[in-house]
Amino acid sequence: MTEVLNQLFIGGAWVDAADGATMPVDDPATGEILCHVADAGPKDARLAEEAAVQAQAEWGRTAPRARSEILRRAYELIIERTDELAHLMTAEMGKPLAEARGEVAYAAEFFRWFSEEAVRIDGGCGTLPDGRNRMLLSRRPVGPCLLITPWNFPLAMGTRKIGPAIAAGCTMILKPAPQTPLSSLALAGILKEAGLPDGVLNVVTTSRAGEVCEPLLRGGRIRKLSFTGSTGVGRLLLAQCADTVVRTSMELGGNAPFIVFDDADLDVAVDGAMVAKMRNMGEACTAANRFFVHRSVAEEFGRRLAERMGALVVGPGTRDGVDVGPLIDATGRAKVAELVADAVERGARVLVGGRTPEGPGCFYPPTVLADVDPGSRLMDTEIFGPVAAILTFDDEDEVLRRANDTPWGLVGYVFTQGLDRGLRVSEGLEVGMVGLNTGLVSNPAAPFGGVKQSGLGREGGRVGIDEFLEYQYLAVPVR
């Protein structure tokens, strides 16, 4: 495993928390403490804010090509250190090494993508309708940003936010999830090595999120919040942003429908289900949550999915041949077990899995439930675990109505061999993203985000940098 950086990163320097506080980082595969890292408090937040504010003017004037080259160098360093970063991620988060290596590549690609976007920030000019005035449009950084990332993709969620902020010319404070601070601290070290000026990126690891973040959002100096996490926390942060009208973008919870029609290629559908459900042990906002399968193929689909899920090897992510690592912590595992128990009490049949194993670690087996009652709690709760809950449907209108009957709208999955039906149903889903005959939608080149209570704005793609830029309009009379 790579050297563990365990201090705060403020103004280009590694420092302890002002009050000397530290917090443990646990290994979810064993329950043992990996290490301790600095636990920031309000004073550290103010120091990070001051560093970001002081660096903003000069950084905002930096040539786009210079910002681009920093991101490109950071991309190359991440690729060079794939194995050590993957081991670090697996240690703090639990995912198997093969999957961690995949996340490293995914994370690096955001830096490569936004290194190319940095030099393509455009403006515009034109004649106003009266013919006597010219209009000049320029784009400039929104200013110091607060970036809050989750634990489930600790490296990629950092690069997805840091990349466009650097490309746009914004300084930032990054607050990673307390469960997974090590990947973010490693990322700060890489960016410093790549030449990022002091104060542009500041990383505050903390178990006291409210004490650290609320003063920043209410203080008037932070001009942008980018948050990935639960809808409940998102609502709270929106309220805190209101007083000073902080610009916000949020990727919040999901309750993804996975729809399999009677004409679907079941091999393709099951392959898609394995990706949409089991990526990251099901601990993803894009994870398929509700499997709606046409009644005529439900039994066969369930049998095939249970066979595939049951063949997966569960164990520590560092062990060879392991497909499914532990869930993030005991609380997360208990939630999954309670949701499964509720569904079974309501009549669901367990096709595979469904029992919490004995022994250390936060493991839970891949589970498939059939004949799930629509009133089960897991139908309106983000499962965040390796559980596929199958319900049946009879017609297109019915399944669209049921799929859309949720306050969330991040992603949906549709499996059918009919082009007309595929387009019709995809367009009918109230979601920001659709996987049509695929279980994977995430890509740095595509705009990622949802509708309804799944978020605001988009990350990635050509529009991802827009969240960090403002327009300025200059009127020029011509006499």
Active-site residue set: 251
User: What 8-state DSSP symbol labels residue 205?
Assistant: -
Tokens of 130: 């009266």
**Closest to 298 (Cα-Cα) out of 219, 387, 197, 392:** 392
Q: How far is Cα 386 from Cα 287, in angstroms, rounded to an integer?
A: 9
What angle, 0 to 180 degrees and rounded to 10, lies between the N-to-C axes of helices 97-117 and 64-80?
170
Amino acid at 61: R
Three-state DSSP class for residue 14: strand
Q: 261, 418 in Cβ contact below 8 A? A: yes
Q: 167, 114 in Cβ contact below 8 A? A: yes
**Closest to 370 (Cα-Cα) out of 292, 457, 285, 422:** 292
| Beta-sheet strands, E only, within 309-405 | 349-352, 367-370, 387-393
Q: How far is Cα 397 from Cα 315, in angstroms, rounded to an integer?
A: 42
Q: How far is Cα 23 from Cα 35, in angstroms, rounded to an integer?
A: 8
**Closest to 24 (Cα-Cα) out of 157, 214, 205, 174:** 205
**Closest to 330 (Cα-Cα) out of 95, 24, 27:** 27
- Give the β-pairing of 288-294 and 349-352: unpaired
Hey, CA dihedral for 37, 42, 48, 51, is it positive or negative? negative
Q: How far is Cα 257 from Cα 406, in angstroms, rounded to an integer?
A: 10
For residue 410, give Cα distances in angstroms to 157, 214, 374, 406, 477.
Answer: 16, 26, 20, 11, 46
**Closest to 429 (Cα-Cα) out of 405, 445, 448:** 405
| Beta-sheet strands, E only, within 205-251 | 224-228, 247-251
**Closest to 84 (Cα-Cα) out of 145, 7, 12, 4:** 4
